[in-house]
Structure 1
């Protein structure tokens, strides 16, 4: 007798699996349901030049499809090669990118070229587009803000001492054109907590009420944390508290915050021969509890497939880091809307509120 098998073959197996995924809950469909990708695609279309099929060559994929591909790539920090493979292999990825019925999917070269054309301007437009959707749903910046920077590693470069010396003196090493394209001469080295890092730095301001990124600036790893303070300071926040760690504190910065009407929430730093008083230590401890909001954001970015870049050069790294921030906000907004988080109280609506909304 032939042994029975748990395998069952059915012509409608794919439909059955899709229904099962819907029952379990597809996190990508939560994002697709709550984020207006059509509006984001219009912003991108207004910035980057798309190929014209009437002039010959393969027609371009719709802007919305490519925006969704770029978002998906950043949510899981995939390479162009892995992105192409997953689009061919995964049903949930195909559905999210509107490619279920398509005979072909964007290949690695198409994805790379779109990312290159997108650039920093396109990534910034997407970040601003998501911010507009935050405001549309009532999630304006409230409760004050915390400012901090995080290191974003890049692939380490293999160079001889002679090549490093030449670069340090502003000279170009004797590299072929192909080799020069693979060398990242913009990223820098730094040390933090007795560890060596190579790459770039992402500075952000995060609102205390909802935990969204409101300001973004990028630089290299060796730049001081406070270098981009003014650039990321969110002037639209309805709260006046500005929290930051001791790397940001300075008399000039405290005067600037006072002139702008903000409250100084920067931790104090002990000077040479001038230890902190007990009062200052307690103040630093209170500030640390509040500014933990920004650390939660960095942890969230790290969980999106890892906090590192595969690009070469400052422009590519800035594009990726800006997209990281946009995708973090996009994912968080979708989660808030899915769970009914009230923009004013940051909680699910009460039964009375729910009935009023339904009416």
Structure 2
């Protein structure tokens, strides 16, 4: 969203170093299908402000600020602060300090609520994947299935004086976690997330399965948590492979052949960790931001949609 440079941005334009954030935003500027997403949201976006109130912010500006929130892991108040502090973020949003009105935290909050109210994060996720398919990044024969725990704040120092009642605890190894889970189905070829489901943390990974398959798989890949004799039998066939890691019978060691099979499966299914790495390391999403599953579920759809674009950015820009 290029605008004519004002005196306020002249010093920025003449600086010698391009920061990592500016490089990242330039890449995402090129790979996000802005026109498609704007067309998706536009029917639900108000055309004018309330009677006697300020005019609405341009939809393109609000969508870009919403994306900045996902990439930079900032809350609604911090998004407003960042637009004043960061020239890179302000320019990406198409705003000029001194010339344009900077949206306040309430405006940013209301836009997020509008997306949640109309289930638009799920629609954005589907639209992004459709865009990738049209660019030759389509689903192939295999699906990698996995889940990750998203920590939630366990503090009771809040207005309600309680932890989030929709989050639960689960044990992984010797450690306990409090929060929710994101269950994903990932294309074995491209590594993009094609299916997403969420649950509270105590739900066992294996209970979410059918929702993560697109139905045309010739192979499925998962860890030992998904071992299930009935599912394995239903998936057998001349052109199908059950790539779920073998589990040793109780009291016995794993057979050496099964150990070799597990080693091969692990090499294939390692790609399922890439979307999680993008969310938690690249985007800084390490804790739930909101109370309740619904709001956090909506954010996860947006995060994985943008994460898919980031994962295949080089192919999209080639």
Which category describes the TM-score, using the shorter chain as reference length? 0.7 to 0.9
Q: Kindly tell me: are residues 149 and 255 of structure 1, through their superposed partners in 2, closer, same or farther at Cα, counting changes over 3 Å?
A: same
* 2:5 aligned residue: none
Shift of 1:336: 2.7
TM-score by length of 2: 0.87
* 1:225 aligned residue: 205
Shift of 1:90: 1.4
1:125-165 C-alpha deviation (Å, 9 max, x unpaired): 11111111101211112252211000001111429xxxxxx
Shift of 1:183: 4.8
- Pick from 7, 11, 33 the counterpart of residue 13 of structure 1: 11
Which aligned pairs between 1:255-274 and structure 2 lie closer than 5 A?
255-258=233-236, 262-274=240-252
State which structure, 1 or 2, has the greater radius of gyration over its C-alpha atoms: 1
CA contact (8 A) 1:309 1:320 kept: no
* 1:116 aligned residue: 113
1:7-55 C-alpha deviation (Å, 9 max, x unpaired): xxx99423313x7539996221221123221211221234x45363263
CA contact (8 A) 1:157 1:184 kept: no
Q: Kindly tell me: are residues 242 and 64 of structure 1, through their superposed partners in 2, closer, same or farther at Cα, counting changes over 3 Å?
A: same
CA contact (8 A) 2:275 2:311 kept: no
CA contact (8 A) 1:244 1:291 kept: yes
TM-score by length of 1: 0.78
User: Secondary structure of the residue that 1:53 maps to in structure 2?
Assistant: coil
Which aligned pairs between 1:170-209 and structure 2 lie closer than 5 A?
179-180=159-160, 183-209=163-189
- Pick from 141, 153, 156 the counterpart of residue 154 of structure 2: 156
- Pick from 64, 76, 80 the counterpart of residue 76 of structure 2: 80
Q: Kindly tell me: are residues 181 and 320 of structure 1, through their superposed partners in 2, closer, same or farther at Cα, counting changes over 3 Å?
A: farther
Q: How far apart, in 1, do the equivalents of 2:55 and 2:134 lie?
A: 34
* 1:333 aligned residue: 312
Shift of 1:311: 0.3
Q: Kindly tell me: are residues 333 and 65 of structure 1, through their superposed partners in 2, closer, same or farther at Cα, counting changes over 3 Å?
A: farther
Q: Kindly tell me: are residues 45 and 257 of structure 1, through their superposed partners in 2, closer, same or farther at Cα, counting changes over 3 Å?
A: farther
> Which range moves more in the overlay, 110-119 or 96-105?
96-105
Shift of 1:84: 1.1
User: Secondary structure of the residue that 1:247 maps to in structure 2?
Assistant: helix
C-alpha RMSD of matched pairs (Å) = 2.8
> Which range moves more in the overlay, 91-100 or 183-192?
91-100
Q: How far apart, in 2, do the equivalents of 1:306 and 1:278 lie?
A: 39
User: Secondary structure of the residue that 1:271 maps to in structure 2?
Assistant: coil
Q: Kindly tell me: are residues 23 and 74 of structure 1, through their superposed partners in 2, closer, same or farther at Cα, counting changes over 3 Å?
A: closer
Tell me how many residue pairs correspond in the alignment: 308
Q: How far apart, in 1, do the equivalents of 2:170 and 2:314 lie?
A: 36
* 1:97 aligned residue: 93
Structure 1, unpaired ranges of 5+: 1-9, 160-177, 341-359
